[in-house]
Amino acid sequence: MIVDLPDSTISHISKALVKIREEGGVVALGRVLTLVISTSLGHEEEAIEAANEASREHPMRVIVISTEDDGADGSEARLDAQIRVGGDAGASEVILLRAYGDIAADEEGLVTGLLLPDAPVVAWWPGKAPAVVSESPLGRIAQRRITDAAAQSNPLQSIVDLASTYEPGDTDFAWTRLTLWRTQLAAALDQPPYEPVTAVEVSGAADSPSTLLLAAWLRLQLQVPVDHSLTTRATGSSGIHGVKLIRESGPIELERSIVNVATLSQPGQPVHDLSLPRRSLRDCLAEELRRLDPDSLFGNVVKTGVKQLRDDQESN
């Protein structure tokens, strides 16, 4: 069910939600968190679709604030709203707020009256993110704050900036996309021979923030030199291209030369082809919503691991 509320107010939207609850019963109840999505006009649907898919694992209220890219900039102040429940909202209820003019500048004020009582708040910026998310209007009211470095104008610089502005509760999809890579590499090292890694090589696309974070994670965890190269390579694979862990008996190599498939080679073992796809928006969001406490490992990687990589580069 979709209810359109043109030229509306937060009070009017709240009353509409109460009416839907009275008429639909449990369809509007049972939510475990509030997900607030901040995006630009015309770019809402992909984020809503991902949230609807993730809501099957995490029933929630989704509040989408959609504003003009250039801010108020002379537009007439107006708030157009839409409420989606039932089959149009997965296992969530979606409140879409299209804000124009001066109204768009008060994001915190727009969502405060719509938050679920006594439930955690997660803020997500699928596109352009604030310079310091923890100090932004939505970041101040959220326990978790999700950004996506790959969607920024300078993905690599955004990771470097995050290293200096990180606060517990911050996370980024560039890190979430590493989960399968980290799992495969950890599993390979958990097999004999149990030799120390003496050096690491990481390669990836020129604009891949995940490659930078993977290199920083390996630098932090293994405390060995990490050679990370970011290049344009015509392999059909974006993001991370491959990792080589160098040991005395020979290297462990995990190479993704074609889309979604990686090859794992180790001394004394047959070569294996592994499914290693680029993770979808839904998968990344669902994973981040599984934990509402700060991701301390991610914090250490961006604050310490990235710094170690940069220090190594400067010393060479």
The H-assigned helical ranges of 28-94 are 45-54
H or E element that contains 216: helix 209-222
pLDDT in tens, 67-123: 987 655 567 899 999 999 887 667 678 999 999 999 998 999 999 999 999 999 999
- The helix (run of H) or strand (run of E) holding residue 66 is strand 60-67
CA angle, corner 81, sides to 76 and 86, nearest 5? Answer: 170
Pairing assessment for the beta strands 261-265 and 252-258 based on DSSP bridges: antiparallel
- From the list 199, 196, 228, 198, the residue with the least C-alpha distance to 212 is 228
User: Would you state the pLDDT for residue 87?
Assistant: 74
Q: Where are the alpha helices (DSSP H) in 57-146?
A: 107-112
Could you tell me the pLDDT band of residue 28, with boundaries at 50, 70 and 90?
Answer: very low
> CA-to-CA distance for 53 and 245, rounded, in angstroms?
36
Task: Summarize pLDDT for 202-255 with one digit per residue, the tens.
Answer: 999 988 999 999 999 999 999 999 998 776 444 445 789 999 999 999 999 999
Both tokens of 155, joined, read 């993905």
193: cis peptide before it, omega within 30°? yes
Phi/psi zone of residue 143: left (φ > 0), alpha (ψ -120 to 50 degrees), beta? alpha
132 pLDDT tier (thresholds 50, 70, 90):
very high
CA 239, CA 243: separation in Å to the nearest integer?
Answer: 12
- pLDDT, mean over the chain: 91
Handedness of CA 152, 89, 24, 33 (dihedral sign): negative
Collapsing DSSP states into helix, strand and coil, what is residue 297?
A: helix
Q: At which residue do the structure tokens 């030799």 appear?
A: 195
pLDDT score, position 23: 78
3-class SS of residue 115: coil
Residue 96 contacts residue 81 (beta carbons within 8 Å): yes
Domain spans, the chain:
2-172, 179-275
Please give the average per-residue pLDDT across 163-190, as a whole number. 96
Give the contacts of 30 (CB within 8 A, at least 6 positions apart).
59
In sequence order, the β-bridge partners of residue 63 are: 36, 95
Say what the pTM is: 0.92
Separation CA 228–CA 196 (nearest Å): 19
CA 176 – CA 41 distance, rounded (Å): 26
Element (H, E) at 121: strand 121-124
Return the CA Rg of the chain: 22
- Residue 234: the pLDDT is 44
